[in-house]
């Protein structure tokens, strides 16, 4: 009789980092499940299309996944909503949308998965951050305020759930992730961008650290990135 594969759930499993995470963990023997607003043309494992900030959709979706696959061993929140505009041109709706997309979605994901992970003996919960998690730049007030809140939420979850066996980590991605969309938007040399597969490898390492040396916050950046 073969043993059941460990489950990973990636919220925000779009093209780029999300799909690279699914690919890396599937190659490592995991059952992979992606969640997102738009289904990529190609995806590893199962994919569920939903609004990750919807308090009705998320709990039901996660409940169904866990009923079928059991409690997750790894959960990754990789959701982003980028708004770049001057403060005077940033509406209240922009702030509400970025907060709901990034922070509310993380709350719903954590509410639906952390307790099952505790009851199953532990696991790893990783949140993708950004440069804006630490520094609010001009024209990034909506994005940075949500990323700051997400970082604070992750710290609170770590202090509550790590003693119960769940490794909660925050990864600061200080650079532009290499995707076709970001190449068009930023006109950067790919050699100066973050490669999704390399980030996924770092997340794999986070998810498999010994309990005596858990990393809470990891910052990643290209060698050419100033900081």
Whether residue 69 lies inside any domain: the answer is yes
* Residue 195: per-residue pLDDT: 97
Whether residue 227 lies inside any domain: the answer is no
Give the whole-angstrom CA distance, residue 150 versus residue 128: 9
Rounded (5°) CA angle 23-27-30: 90
Could you tell me the residue range of the domain that residue 59 belongs to? Answer: 7-217
Q: What is the pTM of this model?
A: 0.96
* Residue 74: per-residue pLDDT: 98
Whether residue 95 lies inside any domain: the answer is yes
Contacts of 193 (CB under 8 A, 6+ apart): 175, 176, 177, 178, 182, 183, 222
Whether residue 113 lies inside any domain: the answer is yes
Give the CATH number, domain containing residue 182. Answer: 3.40.50.720
**pLDDT in tens for each of the 227 residues of the chain?**
345 899 999 999 999 999 999 999 999 999 999 999 999 999 999 999 999 999 999 999 999 999 999 999 999 999 999 999 999 999 999 999 999 999 999 999 999 999 999 999 999 999 999 999 999 999 999 999 999 999 999 999 999 999 999 999 999 999 999 987 888 878 888 889 999 999 999 999 999 999 999 999 999 999 999 88
Whether residue 226 lies inside any domain: the answer is no
Whether residue 59 lies inside any domain: the answer is yes
Q: How many domains does the chain have?
A: 1
């Amino acid at each position: 009789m073969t043993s059941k594969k460990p489950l990973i759930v990636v919220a925000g499993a779009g093209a780029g980092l999300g799909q690279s995470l699914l690919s890396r963990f599937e190659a490592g023997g995991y059952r992979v499940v992606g969640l997102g607003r738009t289904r990529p043309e190609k995806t590893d494992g199962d994919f569920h299309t939903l609004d990750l900030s919807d308090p009705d959709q998320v709990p039901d979706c996660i409940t169904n996944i866990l009923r079928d696959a059991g409690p997750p061993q790894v959960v990754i929140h990789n959701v982003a909503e980028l708004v770049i505009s001057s403060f005077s041109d940033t509406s209240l709706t922009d702030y509400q949308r970025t907060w709901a997309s990034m922070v509310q979605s993380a709350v719903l994901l954590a509410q639906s998965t952390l307790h099952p992970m505790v009851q199953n003996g532990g696991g790893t919960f990783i949140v993708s951050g950004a440069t804006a998690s630490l520094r609010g730049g001009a024209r990034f007030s909506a994005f940075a305020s949500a990323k700051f809140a997400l970082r604070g939420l992750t710290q609170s979850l770590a202090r509550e759930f790590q003693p119960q066996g769940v490794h909660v980590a925050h990864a600061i991605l200080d650079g532009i992730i290499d995707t076709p969309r970001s190449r068009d938007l930023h006109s950067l040399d790919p050699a100066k961008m973050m490669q999704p597969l390399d980030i996924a490898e770092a997340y794999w390492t986070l998810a498999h650290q010994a309990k005596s040396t858990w990393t809470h916050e990891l910052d990643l950046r290209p060698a050419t990135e100033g900081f």
